[in-house]
Copies of this chain bind each other. A is one copy, B any other.
Amino acid sequence: MNQSLVTALRREARDAPDSGIVEVFNYGRGRPGLIPLWAGEGDLSTPEFIHAATAKSLAAGETFYTYQRGIPELRAALARYHERHFGRPFSPERFFVTGGGMQAIQIAITATAGTGAEMVLLTPAWPNFAGAAGIGGARPIEVPLDFDGTSWTIDFDRLRAAITPATRAIFVNSPSNPTGWTATEEDLRSILDIARKAGCWIIADEVYSRFVFDGAERAPSFYDVMEEDDRIIFVNTFSKNWAMTGWRIGWISAPATIGGIIENLIQYSTSGVATFMQRGAVAALDDGEAFAREQIERARLGREIVCGGLEGSNRINFAWPDGAFYLFFRIEGVGDTAKLALKLVDEANIGMAPGSAFGKGAEQFMRLCFLRKANDLKEATRRLSAWLER
C-alpha cells in the first residue's frame, strides 16, 4: 500500500537518483574524529562582516516580499564585481538572484531543455546537473573527458558526435567539480563554435573560476570569447568564494532580453530570495575580496598537502587539479566506490565522495575536498596513505 504511493508519483520524479554524496554524508555524520572532506565546502563559517549585514537588515524589518530578480543593490554589486574581474562593463540587467547556485542551474535548464530535449554534459560531473535535467524531463547525455593517469582532456570529436537535433543545451563546468579540469580559452572557443552551429544554449558553470593554481587571477571564461547575443546562461553562487554554502544564494547572468522569462521562472518556483540574505551578499561582493583571496590561498595550500602527500602512492593516480578545490583520484583495483566511501569512513575515519556519484568515467574515483585547514589535511593524507598501504 505504501509502495503504491511511490508508484503513483511522476516517473521523472521517482527516477531522480539519490545523491551518492548525501548517502556517505548521512552515513558518517557525527563520527568522532572523522575528517569530513566529502562536501564541496570549506571548514570556515561565513565571515562576520557578511552575517552582520544580514542581521542588521533583519533588525531593520526587511522581511517583506521583494523584487523577484533580486534587489537593485545586489544586482548593481554583481555588475561591479564582474567589471572588476573581467575588465569591462556589465549591466545590472544581466543579473538575477537565485536560491543558490543549484537553483540557478535548475532555472537555466528549465529555460532551455525539457521533455524530449537532450542536455549534453562533460563528465565526470557534479551529479546535480544531470539530476535537475532528468527531473525536468530532459535527457542528460554524458560526454566523458579523457583521463590518461595524469591529466584530463576534452575530446571535441566526441562532443560533436553527442550533439543531435534534440540538443538544447551544453552544460560546461570549468573549472570542473570534481576533476579540476579547466578549459583553456581555446577549448571554450571550440565549445562555443559547436554550440553556435547546433543553435543550442551553453549553461556555463564557472563557480570555481577564482580557484586556479597557475598564478592567474581567474580561469578562462566564456565572457572572454562570447558575443553579446550568444546563447549563454551563466550560473554562479556565493557559496565558495565567501564560505556561504549553507545560505543558498547564487545568481544567473544572462542576456537582459530574456530577463522577463527568468523572472517568471523565479516567481513560479521560489518567488525570490530574502532581502536580508541579499544584504549579506552585497557585503560579500563589495567587502569580501580579502576573504575570497584567503579562501583561494587556503585551497592552494590544501592542494599542495594532499596532492603532494599522495603522489608517491602506487595504488592511486590522479591529475593535479588546475582549478576548483578537489582531488579526484583513481584507486587501482576498486570496482564500487559507493561502497568504498562507506568503508573509508569506517576504516580510515575520512569522509569522501564516491566517484560513482559523478557519472560516466568516474566509477573508480574518489573525490576529496581540500578547502580545509592544513592540519586536518595532513592527518587525512596520513590516514589515507596508511589505508592504501595496508
Q: Are B135 and A137 in contact (CB under 8 A)?
A: no
A337 at the binding interface (Cβ < 8 Å)? no
Q: Are B267 and A65 in contact (CB under 8 A)?
A: no
Q: Are A9 and B264 in contact (CB under 8 A)?
A: no
Partner of A8, one of B54, B63, B231: B231
A258 at the binding interface (Cβ < 8 Å)? yes
Partner of A168, one of B10, B113, B114: B10
A54 to B137, CA, bound (A): 37
**Given A12-B114, A58-B54, is A63 in contact with B265 using a C-beta cutoff of 8 Å?**
no
Return 11 A-B CB contacts under 8 Å, by A number. Answer: A3-B257, A10-B113, A16-B267, A46-B58, A51-B63, A63-B244, A100-B271, A114-B137, A115-B115, A128-B271, A131-B268
In the assembled complex, the CB of A368 is this many whole angstroms from the nearest CB of chain B, namely 16
Q: Which single residue of chain B is at the shortest CB-CB distance from A132?
A: B268
Q: Are B62 and A246 in contact (CB under 8 A)?
A: yes
**Given A106-B268, A110-B135, A274-B247, is A255 in contact with B100 using a C-beta cutoff of 8 Å?**
no
Q: Are A111 and B10 in contact (CB under 8 A)?
A: yes
A220 to B55, CA, bound (A): 38
A19 at the binding interface (Cβ < 8 Å)? yes
Q: Are A6 and B115 in contact (CB under 8 A)?
A: no
A149 to B33, CA, bound (A): 69
Q: Are B267 and A19 in contact (CB under 8 A)?
A: yes
A61 at the binding interface (Cβ < 8 Å)? yes
Q: Are A64 and B41 in contact (CB under 8 A)?
A: yes
A275 at the binding interface (Cβ < 8 Å)? yes
A17 at the binding interface (Cβ < 8 Å)? yes
Q: Which single residue of chain B is at the shortest CB-CB distance from A133?
A: B268
A117 at the binding interface (Cβ < 8 Å)? yes
A39 at the binding interface (Cβ < 8 Å)? yes
A102 at the binding interface (Cβ < 8 Å)? yes
**Given A13-B265, A19-B264, A45-B61, is A137 in contact with B115 using a C-beta cutoff of 8 Å?**
yes
| A-to-B contact residues, CB < 8 Å | 1-6, 8-10, 12-14, 16-19, 22, 39, 41, 45-46, 48, 51, 54-55, 58-59, 61-66, 68, 99-100, 102-103, 106, 110-117, 128, 131-132, 135-137, 168, 199, 201, 229, 231, 243-248, 255, 257-258, 260-261, 264-265, 267-277
Q: Are B117 and A10 in contact (CB under 8 A)?
A: yes
A116 to B100, CA, bound (A): 30
In the assembled complex, the CB of A310 is this many whole angstroms from the nearest CB of chain B, namely 25
A274 to B168, CA, bound (A): 32
Q: Are A264 and B51 in contact (CB under 8 A)?
A: no
Contacts A17-B264, A132-B268, A248-B270 given; 4 further ones with Cβ under 8 A? A6-B257, A13-B114, A46-B58, A102-B269
**Given A51-B59, A61-B46, A264-B17, is A8 in contact with B201 using a C-beta cutoff of 8 Å?**
yes
Q: Are A270 and B103 in contact (CB under 8 A)?
A: yes
